[in-house]
Structure 1
Amino acid sequence: MSSSKNSSITLTDLTFRWPDGSTALTGLSGSFGVGRTGLVGTNGAGKSTLLRVIAGILTPSSGSVTLAGDVGYLPQSLTLETGTTVAELLGIGATLRALRAIEQGDASVENFDAVGDDWDIEARADEALRDVGFSAADLDRQVATISGGEAMLVAITGLRIRRTAITLLDEPTNNLDRDARARLTGLVDSWPGTLVVVSHDTALLEHMDDTAELHAGRLTVFGGPYSVWREQLALQQSAAVQAARSAEQAVKAEKRQRIEAETKLARRARTAKKSYDNRSGDKIVMKQRISDAQVSAGKLRSGLDDDVRSAQAVLDAAESRVREEEHIHLELPDPDVSRSRRIAELHGTNRGYVIQGPERVAVIGPNGVGKTTLLRGLLEGTPPEPGRVSGQLHTDRVGLLTQRLDGLDEDASTLENVRAAAPDVPPGEIRNQLARLLLRGDTVNRPVRSLSGGERFRVHLARLLLADPPAQLLVFDEPTNNLDIPSVDRLVEALQAYRGALLVVSHDDAFLARLGLHRLLALDEKGGLTDVPLA
């Protein structure tokens, strides 16, 4: 699969090693064309590292990156000082200061150099900011007064204003609410030049011209959005599986012929030996016939062995093209949540809602309205007060998955971390369940700090789902942030086996649609909670 567009970014035998000697990218070659490309791959495949190498932040250990122009880059996490202004976040702070100084009469060479050709920077900033709900009047506003999602949109707008030939965005939709995601999509749809986006947001990936995948150390680019690429990949995998099955049958057939030939040769050898022992012919002639037969048998064996090796090589090549996509199938203990059991209450400033029985409830709302505060109030037992967002638990068996995925003992093994949540469960039983969560072999005994992102996430899931006694309520706060698409799939599969109550805060509509929600609540700027019809 490849794109036919002219290359804007070309990678040639690119290798990158970290200072500790571990390798992130090895002999990577490929290219990105002009237009919008979504870059996908599992956690740990090297997507973020590749963007940083292309941006010039990291230097390749070997190989090269060839670029058709300058590069703008947005990292996953924005590091913002309290006093940072919107203009500085846009990346035009110095230019704007120089322009204003010139307008006030300071005609120094430094100011003119700082402005360059950007005499219309304020007008362009105003036009671009209006697309994300701001204007030039906000340029001097401190970033501390806007939400994290708004800051992300402003930073992306800044890259657009700078008009770099190539722009790289790393997980730009993390923590963005629905409105912010819609605004980002609008920016992406009209983005000039080359845009490469690393994302697990399948809705955003549908707006790409191309889809690139970093898998097994190789970069492949397909001309089409994510869903079309997935369809093509599924067809490829189906063909690869069929080819592997055919090759396996061919190997069996060659081995069967080898066994049958060996049986015939052994029968002939016994007949020849019997004839020789019975002296039924001239002894010298008989010896020569036996010798000739042995040479012929050796050639036959060699030819048959070559046929087996050739068939095995075809099978190995076919199997290498088949991806192992394992699925989670858990058998979890019953958390004893009857349909009439009150599990928790959520209180908005207007009214409250009861989570009853094994209900699956999600809370949505714009950035900054207090969704995480609502969860904190629920877990800390903040007493309900009129006009205040709070919550109340009716069970002490609660499992929490935070945005930061913290709480693991980094120096302890997977098994030790999970046993801490289920001390009375036999280790063998925990190992069996961990295997169902795709945590097997040496992974179970390695320190958590040595695991990949996807493995660490499954350890967190194991602690929640295998806890003894089992949690009656699971609380997830933006669980899909920084998760690759396969990990989101594993999370959904794991939750299918859970029979307790579930409370999720998320902006990820695609994820929420797969959970089988019973109720969707929206939290507004005033702290009010309202029911949202389920699609």
Structure 2
Amino acid sequence: MSAFPTSVTCTALSFAWPDGTTVFDDLQAAFGPGRTGLVGANGTGKSTLLRLVAGDLTPADGTVRVTGEVGYLPQNVTLDTTLRVDEALGIASVRAALHAIEAGDVAEEHFTAVGDDWDVEERAEAMLGELGLGHIGLDRTAGELSGGESVLLRLAALLLRRPGVLLLDEPTNNLDLYARRRLYAAVEAWSGVMVVVSHDRELLDLVDQIAELHSGEVSWYGGNFSAYEEALAVEQEAAERMMRVAESDLRRQKRELADAQVKLARRKRYGQKMYEQKREPKIVMGARKRAAQESAGKHRIMHEERLAEARERLDEAATAVRDDDEIRVDLPHTAVPPGRTVLGLADLELRYGARVEGTFELRGPERVALVGRNGAGKTTLLRTIAGELAPVSGEARAQVPMRFLPQRLDVLDDRLTVAENVARFAPGATNNRIRARLARFLFRGARADQRADTLSGGERFRAALAALMLAEPAPQLLLLDEPTNNLDMASVRQLTAALESYEGALVVASHDVPFLESVGITRWLLLEGGELTETTAEAVVGPA
């Protein structure tokens, strides 16, 4: 680690995309030593902020000042598949120089290349071992690694550089449970400045503080994500009380304005009557009329100002209350009677080597978690059950209507609106019926007319889920492949609420244990070594 203090300071930061969409306008933020979890709804600019700090993007205005070297792990890690592991780690030239010196070549350039890094191989191998990659060696190529191993290899390269500032963007995406634990350990051991964007609450419970990006501003909360949730709940309770008070005040001001208008109307009628009856001199009545008009005007202005102030207080109070809309779905036709066979697998051999020995049955509204290491074949099994892949041998037969939601969310046609996409899956439903049901998935009014290619990640997931769950015939078996990848916390809560309403059978492949536990998993299946076996929640969440 650098001997100098490290920090990140963003001052009056502004940034907009080429199409004019503003992401930040005069953003102020500073990150010091310790682990910071950067949270916020999809689309608030978390990844953009990390890219600005890393230097991948240039701000339109303002400054980003970083003391110390920056290491950045992007959300989508891509490695040249032809690279050797030592090249991906950035130590190939030093390693080659070391080997040349060991072979007796004492050329000056070799010593220059090595510098003081004589133990680079030992450090690299130790780092790979800490991240669970000790088996891959330094001479293998990146093309031989799984997606999760590629993420850990990129992280190992960053850690070997010993940067003062480490930026991690959704680092646990595509990592299996075993790899996640290795990453958790690396995060816990970190002693510099770390900013991590993640929807993985286990990872966020390892941080020292939470920075929430909301409405273009950063708010700070001490403690981990669980402490942040508790603090936010207290804030929201207070905000809702303020909103109730503001609503009551607005109603009172409206009543007072109405009462004042009635009184002024009575005075006007009385004055007009006196004028018509000529009970007082004309000059006196004229003066009284002008005074009454001035008084009425001042009175009206005073009440209107009070009403405007009450409305402003209500707007401020409403802004402080978060939009915690949840998906609420009533899908009675998805119900499956207990004991009814929903899915049967028999002597199933999949592509790429995985298999299911003998027979396997899913009965009634069971909720099955499919777990296993990256590359074990979970996605292949789901695609085979869904009929997208033909088995090498054996049989996979669903005995009820079934739908499959893949990681890629490619069930949506980007050229169509949300409502049109749902109509593809429910051709017999009327437009009014589709829109009424989409409202329960939080696509209300004009939101249902958004094209799929304009949706944020969370919106796209909601639209894909709506298309499948509102399909006709109603799905009584739902297959989900890593559904929480790239979803913010609010979207995960919405997904959980939707699945609580779902009454059919569920098979979900996921490495997100808190999510699996929240949806009421009744059965755990482990795909390992090419075989599918029954396991328990304790075996899955226990120590590696």
Whether the TM-score (by the shorter chain) exceeds 0.5 is yes
Q: Name the counterpart of 2:381.
A: 374
Q: CA deviation at 1:225?
A: 0.4
Aligned counterparts of 1:525 and 1:217: Cα–Cα separation in 2:
47
Q: CA deviation at 1:136?
A: 9.2
Residue correspondence of structure 1 range 442-453 to structure 2 within 5 A: 442-453=446-457
Q: Name the counterpart of 2:492.
A: 488
**Which of these residues, 533, 538, 543, is aligned with residue 529 of structure 1?**
533
Q: What whole-Å deviation, never above 9, does each CA across 1:125-166 have from its counterpart, x for those lacking one?
A: 232222123449811122333332222222212211111010
Aligned counterparts of 2:68 and 2:39: Cα–Cα separation in 1:
23
Q: Name the counterpart of 1:175.
A: 174
Q: What whole-Å deviation, never above 9, does each CA across 1:453-501 have from its counterpart, x for those lacking one?
A: 1211111011110101112211111111111111111111111222221
Q: Name the counterpart of 1:361.
A: 368
Aligned-partner SS, 2:498: helix
Residue correspondence of structure 1 range 134-533 to structure 2 within 5 A: 134-135=133-134, 138-335=137-334, 337-346=336-345, 348-380=355-387, 382=390, 392-395=396-399, 397-533=401-537
RMSD: 2.2
Q: Is the 8 A contact 2:6 2:192 kept in 1?
A: no
Q: Which letter maps to 1:264?
A: K
Q: Is the 8 A contact 1:12 1:63 kept in 2?
A: yes
Change (3 A) 1:445 1:109: farther
Aligned-partner SS, 2:531: coil
Aligned counterparts of 2:465 and 2:383: Cα–Cα separation in 1:
20
Change (3 A) 1:278 1:383: closer
Q: Is the 8 A contact 2:199 2:489 kept in 1?
A: yes
Q: What whole-Å deviation, never above 9, does each CA across 1:283-323 have from its counterpart, x for those lacking one?
A: 22222122222222222222222222222222222222111
Q: Is the 8 A contact 2:15 2:60 kept in 1?
A: yes
Q: Is the 8 A contact 1:206 1:225 kept in 2?
A: yes
Aligned counterparts of 1:89 and 1:36: Cα–Cα separation in 2:
26
Q: Name the counterpart of 1:3.
A: none
Change (3 A) 1:20 1:239: same
Aligned counterparts of 2:25 and 2:222: Cα–Cα separation in 1:
24
Q: CA deviation at 1:354?
A: 0.6
Aligned counterparts of 1:95 and 1:411: Cα–Cα separation in 2:
51
Q: Name the counterpart of 2:100.
A: 101
Q: CA deviation at 1:167?
A: 0.6
Aligned counterparts of 2:38 and 2:335: Cα–Cα separation in 1:
43
Change (3 A) 1:206 1:132: same
Aligned counterparts of 2:400 and 2:93: Cα–Cα separation in 1:
54
Q: Name the counterpart of 2:352.
A: none
Aligned-partner SS, 2:333: coil
Unaligned runs of 5+ in 2: 349-354
Q: Name the counterpart of 2:69.
A: 70
Q: Which letter maps to 1:343?
A: V
Aligned counterparts of 2:395 and 2:476: Cα–Cα separation in 1:
16
Q: CA deviation at 1:54?
A: 0.7
Aligned counterparts of 1:295 and 1:203: Cα–Cα separation in 2:
66
Aligned-partner SS, 1:95: helix
Change (3 A) 1:28 1:391: farther
Q: Which letter maps to 1:160?
A: L
Q: Is the 8 A contact 1:122 1:136 kept in 2?
A: no
Q: Is the 8 A contact 2:377 2:530 kept in 1?
A: no
Change (3 A) 1:436 1:30: same
Change (3 A) 1:96 1:221: farther
Q: Which letter maps to 2:223?
A: G
**Structure 1 length-normalised TM:** 0.93
Aligned-partner SS, 1:78: coil
Q: CA deviation at 1:109?
A: 5.4
Aligned counterparts of 2:104 and 2:489: Cα–Cα separation in 1:
55
Deviates more, 1:131-140 or 1:40-49: 131-140
Q: What whole-Å deviation, never above 9, does each CA across 1:366-408 have from its counterpart, x for those lacking one?
A: 22222222223323375685xxxx7611336221111111132
Aligned counterparts of 1:425 and 1:32: Cα–Cα separation in 2:
52
Q: CA deviation at 1:207?
A: 0.2
Q: Which letter maps to 2:61?
A: S
Q: CA deviation at 1:433?
A: 0.5
Q: Is the 8 A contact 2:386 2:404 kept in 1?
A: no
Aligned length: 526
Deviates more, 1:365-374 or 1:474-483: 365-374
Q: Is the 8 A contact 1:87 1:140 kept in 2?
A: yes
Aligned counterparts of 2:136 and 2:371: Cα–Cα separation in 1:
30
Q: Is the 8 A contact 2:384 2:390 kept in 1?
A: yes
Deviates more, 1:33-42 or 1:78-87: 78-87
